[in-house]
Amino acid sequence: MENFIVSARKYRPQTFDTVVGQRSITNTLKNAIKNNQLAQAFLFCGPRGVGKTTCARILAKTINCEHLSASIEACDQCQSCISFNDNASFNIYELDGASNNSVDDIRTLVDQVRIPPQMGKYKVYIIDEVHMLSASAFNAFLKTLEEPPAYAKFILATTEKHKILPTILSRCQIFDFKRITVDDIAGHLHYVAEKENITAEDNALHIIAQKADGAMRDALSIFDQLVSFAGNELTYNTVLENLNVLDYEYFFKITDQILQGDISGTLLTINDIIDKGFEGQHFLIGFGEHLRNILVCKDAATASLLETAPSIRSHYIEQSTRCPINLLLKLLDINNRCDLNYKTSNNKRLHLEISLMQMCAPMMKQESYPTAPPGVIPAPAAHVDQAMRASQDPSLVKIEIPAQPSPEKQLISTSAPQSEGSFKQHPSTESVAGVSSKRPAETVKMRDIKHDFTSATSIKKPVPKSTDTVLSSEEEQARNEIATPFTLSELILYWDDFAEKLKNDAPHLYSTLKNSRPVLQPGWIIGFTLENKILEDELTLRKTEMMEFLRHHLNNYTIQLQTSIAETHSNLKPYTDKDKYELMAGKNPALRTLREELDLEIEY
C-alpha cells in the first residue's frame, strides 16, 4: 500500500508565487534577491501554520538556484534545485531550536559556518523555534550572527518574538507573518479538493477555514480528517456534524425571534440547541460573532469585515436591514455580560435563558399593552382593545370614558401603604392614557402611552414628564414650583438608579449610596449621612447632577439635599494605608516590630 502523505506536506508551496496570504513578504524577498540586497540574517515571526518555515525553505532554494527565472523563481532543473527537492542538499541546514538550545550546540554551529559551500553560492541555516534557545546560547551566537562569512545566511523562525533577546532582533531583518484570511484559506482548500477529485461545497470549505483560525496547516489537517469520514463528497452538514459547529440558521432564527419579542420561541430554540449537545457558552460565542456580523453589514464601508460564504453574506445583509443599531449594541452588551458570568454561575442554563429574555424585552416594550399608573386599577378590556387597535395607526384616537362610570368600570385610586418619610397620598384620577376620568372624552396620542417590562420594579416608578422642549422663563418658574408627592420607596428606587451611574467613575461614592439609605424630611428635604468628609466632598461635586436626576424622575422640583457627617466612633472603617497599618499593628504588635527591624516605610 502506498504511503499516505498529508495535504499539508503534499501541497506545500515550492515557489514564492504559490505561498498563500503573504504576498507582501514574498514580494520583498524576491526584490531583495533581484537587487542583490540580501541581509545576513532574517527573522520570520508569526502564528502557527502561516508559512514561516515554508518561506525560509523557498528562500534558501532560490538563492542557490543556478538559473533563476525572470520572475525570480527557482528553475527546479539545476543540480542545486534537484538536490534540494530530494532533501539531499549539503548547503541547507535545518535545526530545531528546542533540541539544540545549549551553548555547545551553538558552538558546533559556529564551527560549521567556517567551512565554505562545496556547491552553490550560499550555506543557509534555518533555525526553527529559535525562541527556545537559552540566554547563554543567544549570547554565544551574537558575533557570528552579526558578522558571518559572505556565503552564510541565517533564517530564524519563531512563534514568540517577545522571548528573543533585543540584541538578536537588532541583527536581523524582521518579517511579521499575518494570519491567513478565511477567503484565502477557502480558495486554497478548493484547489486541493480539485486536485484530489473531491466534491466540496463552498459553505463547507468556509466553515473549515473559520475553524482553522488563520492557520493553513490546521485547515488542511481538518480537511484530511473530514475526507476520511465523508469520502469524496464534502457537504455543509457533514462539516457541522464532525466539527461540532452550530448551524448559522439557529443564529438567524433566534435573532428573528428576538426582533419579534418572542420569549417562548427563543427558549424553545435554545432548548433545541442544548439538546444537540452544544454548551451554552459555545452558543454565546457564536451568537456574539453573529451579532457582530450583522452590525458590520449595516454600513457598506465595514461590510468587507464579514468573513463568510457569499450565499450566507446575503442573508446577513437582509437581516441587518431589520435590526436597529441601538438594539444590536444592547444585545451585544447583554451577550457579553452573560459570557463573562457564565462560568461562575451555579445554574448556567437559567443564566443563559434570563439573558435571552432580557434581549427580547426591548421589542416587547414596543408591543406591550398600556397600563395604568401605580395604584390605579387597570381600565376595562374594551378600552384596552381600543387602544391596541389604535396603536396600528399613528393618528390620534378618542377614548370615550363615561362621565359617571359605574362602580365596576370606575378607575378607583388605591392609596399606597405609608412608608417611613411619606406624606399624604394625592388621589389619582388618571386613566390608561393619562386622561382624567372626570372628563367625558379626551384626545390622546398613542406615543404618550408608556409601558416597560424591563424589570419587576419598573411599574412602581412614576412616569417622568418630558423635558425635551425649551421652556420659557414663565414655564421654567412654573416647573420649579411643581411638587408632586412621592414616597420614600419611590425615592430609594431612583436613588439606587443614580448610584448605578457612578459605579465605574466613583466606586466609593457608589458603595456609600447603595449601602446607606436617605431619610425623607418635611418640605421634600432629603437627609443623608456620610461617614467622613472625603465622601461628603465627593458627593458635593455630584450634587447638581443628582438633584436634577431625582427632580426630573420624581417630577418634584422642590427637592433639596442636606448632608451630614456621622459622629466619630471607635470602629470607624480605615480608609488610608496609614489607618490600615495602625489598625493591624494594634491587633498584632509583632507587625510593628517587624517593620522597625527591617526599616520598612509605609507610603502615606
176, 205, 230 - which closes a domain: 176
**Cα distance between residue 549 and residue 63, in whole Å:** 73
pLDDT at 157 over 90: yes
Range name among 25-34, 105-114, 295-304, 449-458 with the lowest pLDDT average: 449-458
For the chain, the farthest-separated pair of C-alpha atoms sits apart, in whole angstroms, at 114
Angstrom distance (rounded) from CA 388 to CA 217: 59
Using the predicted structure, report yes or no on whether residue 413 has a pLDDT greater than 50: no
Residue 224 and residue 311 in one domain: no
Same domain, 187 and 135: no
Q: Does a structural domain hold residue 471?
A: no
Phi and psi angles of residue 66, each rounded to the nearest 5 degrees, phi first: -85, -20
263 and 360 Cβ atoms separated by less than 8 Å: yes
Q: What is residue 567's predicted lDDT score, i.e. its pLDDT?
A: 66
Query: Domain end: 176, 203, 220, which one?
Result: 176
Say if CB 379 and CB 372 are below 8 A apart: yes
Nearest to 33 by CA among 47, 15, 11: 15
Last residue of a domain, one of 367, 384, 412: 367
pLDDT of residue 427: 40
Number of folded domains in the chain?
Answer: 3
> In this structure, are 145 and 199 located in the same domain?
no
**Does the residue 231 lie in any domain?**
yes
The amino acid present at 447, given as its one-letter code, is R
Judgement on whether residues 131 and 206 belong to the same structural domain of the protein:
no
Is there a domain that residue 293 lies in? yes
Establish if 583 belongs to a structural domain.
no
Cα 497 to Cα 503: distance, rounded to the nearest angstrom: 10
In a domain? residue 24: yes
- pLDDT grade, residue 447 (50/70/90)? very low
Q: What is the sign of the dihedral through the CA atoms of 491, 492, 498 and 502?
A: positive
User: What are the two backbone dihedrals, phi and then psi, of residue 278, each rounded to the nearest 5 degrees?
Assistant: -90, 135
Please give the pLDDT value at position 364. 65
147-166 burial, b at 16+ Cβ within 10 Å, e below that, comes to: ebeeebbbbbbbbeeeebee
Classify residue 470: in a domain, yes or no.
no
Pairing of strands 41-45, 173-176: parallel
pLDDT tier for residue 333 given thresholds of 50, 70 and 90: very high
CA distance 529 to 563: 6
Helix (H) or strand (E) holding 560: strand 560-565
Q: What is the pLDDT of residues 558-584, one digit of tens each?
A: 888 888 887 655 455 666 777 788 888
**302 and 325: one domain?**
yes
Contact 148, 154 (CB under 8 A): yes
Q: Are 316 and 294 spatial neighbours (Cβ–Cβ below 8 Å)?
A: yes
Question: 235 is in which domain, residue-wise?
Answer: 182-243
In this predicted structure, what is the pLDDT of residue 287? 92
- Is the pLDDT reported for residue 470 higher than 90? no
Residues 166 and 191 in one domain: no
Q: Are residues 199 and 169 in the same domain?
A: no
From the list 246, 257, 318, the residue with the least C-alpha distance to 288 is 246
pLDDT at position 420 over 70: no
Q: What is the pLDDT of residue 400?
A: 43
Task: Give the span between the Cα atoms of 352 and 300, in whole angstroms.
Answer: 33
**Residue 135 and residue 145: Cα distance in Å, rounded?**
15
89 CB contacts (<8 Å, ≥6 apart)? 64, 80, 83
Using alpha carbons, select from 372, 366, 368, 367 the residue that is nearest to residue 435.
Answer: 372
Same domain, 30 and 76: yes
Return the higher-pLDDT residue of 460 and 219.
219
> Do 282 and 165 share a structural domain?
no
Lowest mean pLDDT among 92-96, 312-316, 322-326: 312-316
Higher pLDDT pick, 399 / 515: 515
Looking at residue 29, what is its pLDDT? 92
Tell me the pLDDT tens digit for each residue of 262-312: 899 999 999 999 988 888 888 999 999 999 999 988 887 887 788 777 778
pLDDT tens sequence across 540-563: 888 888 888 888 888 888 888 888
Clarify whether residues 40 and 70 are in a common domain.
yes
The pTM of the full predicted model, rounded to 2 decimals, is 0.55
Contacts 24+ apart (CB under 8 A), 63-69: 63/33, 63/38, 63/121, 63/122, 63/124, 63/153, 64/89, 64/91, 64/92, 64/120, 64/121, 64/122, 64/124, 66/120, 68/33
* Cα 221 from Cα 66, distance rounded (Å): 35
Q: What is the CATH number of the domain that holds 295?
A: 1.20.272.10
Task: Say what the pLDDT of residue 153 is.
Answer: 92
Asked if residue 460 is part of any domain, the answer here is no
Residues 111 and 64 reside in one and the same domain: yes
The reply to whether 341 falls in a domain is: yes
Grid look-up 543567544 returns: 138
pLDDT tier, 376 (very low <50, low <70, confident <90, very high otherwise): very low
In this prediction, what percent of the chain has a pLDDT beyond 90?
Answer: 21
Indicate whether 164 and 263 sit together in one domain: no
CATH number at residue 228: 1.10.8.60
Provide the pLDDT for residue 374.
Answer: 42
